[in-house]
Amino acid sequence: MPEIATERISCRTCDTSVGLSRCAGCHAISYCSAQCQRKDWPRHKHNCLPVLLTEVQGKGRGLVASKDFKKGDLIFTETAAISVDGFGEGIQVWGADPKNLPMSNDPMIMKSFMNQVMGLSDRERAKLFEGDLNLARREKIICLDMFLINHSCAPNSAKGVLETKETGGKNKKKMELRAIKSIVKGEEITICYLDKTESALTPAEMKTVLQDIFEFDCQCDVCTGKICDQDDLRLLLDAGLRTVHDIRHQSSIYDFKQNDWKKETLMLENLVNILAMQYYIGRVENIPSMCVAFAFAAQMARDPVRLQKAMDVFKKIAEDTGLEFLKLKYDFYEKFIGQWAAELKSMKPPAVEEIEYFYRSNPHAMNGL
């Protein structure tokens, strides 16, 4: 668990207030000498993160930055305490009783996890078991420190699963937390608990979701009106998505003419522009997902310029945030789409085989919609 926020006016080991230097690793605590730092290291090495644990007004416990972060900076990584593959029945028992949780292979992690879970408030436990547990690659993952991060509809950070190699027959799942905008020292670290569909709800509807699941009234900059025009943009996004869905409902994509694909491409381009440039609500991965839908439509419309634009926006988000899972997702789709480069250049209407490749065989084909 991160260090608890204090005034940091004395040495963590001997309590002297003379000749203090902050820990270079976390900037969270101070020592008067290297000797005091070494003496405290067995304890501090588990807490050496560039964030501080503190009480946040109206939210309970939360994490604040102990130094400045630029967009894309790594805040910290963490090994998962719990990792369960699939969406089977085993996951359903988590919310019923923490004692029924599937155990980690690491007894020290599990001891720490169980001690922490048993000391949680009802609200914190709801956040742990029902909140943003990062569903990735059909895995459900719980990290001890990251679950302490509070929600914002317009978050300043995002987390993602890291690729890890098996060592000694074990594959320890890890997650990374990165800044998705500039964060100043003392600012609260936030992520978005809302999923992709919930991000398109009205502010009142989002508040209801957060109240029902996590039992709090969101007071982020979006919900308090400090970030203006978000509701107007949400209405534009909602109208655009409804139009695309209505067209799909009225006519099978197998019956689409080139003009239909061109119309869909233009509509999705507009949605990507709004998400990438003006819309601050929701998770950062919502933008790449929409870019994929935009790129697929451009492929069908035989529009190489807009296809490249879709992938460029996707790539920029991945590079700017530094999130590994977005970089891997970009590489996947670049190869996925590239296999049909000849058809794109041919300017011929897409055949059934190509449509099925993009919209039926690919499990992520409709992620953006």
pLDDT computed for residue 115 by the predictor: 59
List the Cα angle 107/109/113 in 5-degree steps: 115
Could you tell me if residue 81 is inside a domain? yes
Do residues 18 and 83 share a domain?
no
End position of a domain, from candidates 194, 215, 242:
194
Do residues 139 and 184 share a domain?
yes
Backbone angles phi, psi at 77, to 5 degrees: -115, 160
Q: Kindly tell me the sign of the dihedral angle through the C-alpha atoms of 360, 364, 368, 369.
A: positive
* pLDDT tens-digit map of 102-111: 444 455 555 5
Strand 51-56, strand 60-65: pairing: antiparallel
Contacts of 343 by beta carbon, 8 Å cutoff, 6+ apart: 299, 350, 354
3-state secondary structure labels for all residues of 211-271: HHHHCCCCCCCCCCCCCCCHHHHHHHHHHHHHHHHHHHHHCCHHHCCHHHHHHHHHHHHHH
Q: Tell me the β-bridge partners of 53.
A: 4, 63
Do residues 93 and 43 share a domain?
no
Mean confidence (pLDDT) of the chain: 80
Q: What is the mean pLDDT of residues 217-228?
A: 80
CATH, residue 157: 2.170.270
Do residues 12 and 132 share a domain?
no
pLDDT computed for residue 169 by the predictor: 47
**What domain range is 107 assigned to?**
74-194
- What percentage of the chain has pLDDT greater than the value 90? 38
pLDDT computed for residue 104 by the predictor: 46
Q: Tell me the pLDDT band of 73, cut-offs 50, 70 and 90.
A: very high
Could you tell me if residue 225 is inside a domain? no
* pLDDT tens-digit map of 269-314: 999 998 888 788 888 988 999 999 999 999 999 999 999 999 999 9
Backbone angles phi, psi at 211, to 5 degrees: -70, -40
Buried b / exposed e along 252-275 (16+ C-beta atoms within 10 A) = ebeebeeebbbbbbebbbebbebb
Could you tell me if residue 205 is inside a domain? no
What's the domain count of the chain? 3
Q: Give 268-277 contacts, CB < 8 A, sequence gap 24+.
A: 268/240, 268/244, 268/293, 268/294, 268/297, 268/310, 268/368, 269/294, 269/306, 269/309, 269/310, 270/240, 271/237, 271/240, 271/241, 272/310, 272/313, 274/233, 274/236, 274/237, 274/240, 275/237, 276/313, 276/317
Could you tell me if residue 108 is inside a domain? yes
Could you tell me if residue 272 is inside a domain? yes
pLDDT computed for residue 81 by the predictor: 73
Do residues 134 and 168 share a domain?
yes
Position 137 pLDDT exceeds 50: no
Least confident of 18-22, 181-185, 208-212: 208-212
Q: Give CA–CA dist 199/209, Å, rounded.
A: 11
Do residues 271 and 180 share a domain?
no
167: left (phi over 0), alpha (psi -120 to 50) or beta: beta
Could you tell me if residue 55 is inside a domain? no
Q: Are 172 and 188 in contact (CB under 8 A)?
A: no
pLDDT computed for residue 110 by the predictor: 52
DSSP state of 31: E
Do residues 85 and 44 share a domain?
no
Q: How far is CA 254 from CA 35, 261, 268, 354, 355, in A?
A: 72, 11, 19, 10, 7
Q: Are 31 and 37 in contact (CB under 8 A)?
A: yes
Residue type, 138: R
* pLDDT tens-digit map of 321-352: 999 999 999 999 999 999 999 999 999 999 99
Candidates 51, 100, 91, 95; CA nearest to 74 is 51
Q: What is the mean pLDDT of residues 19-44?
A: 89
Q: Tell me the pLDDT band of 9, cut-offs 50, 70 and 90.
A: confident
Do residues 44 and 82 share a domain?
no
Structural tokens at position 74: 């790594």
Could you tell me if residue 61 is inside a domain? no
Q: Are 186 and 227 in contact (CB under 8 A)?
A: no
Residue type, 237: L
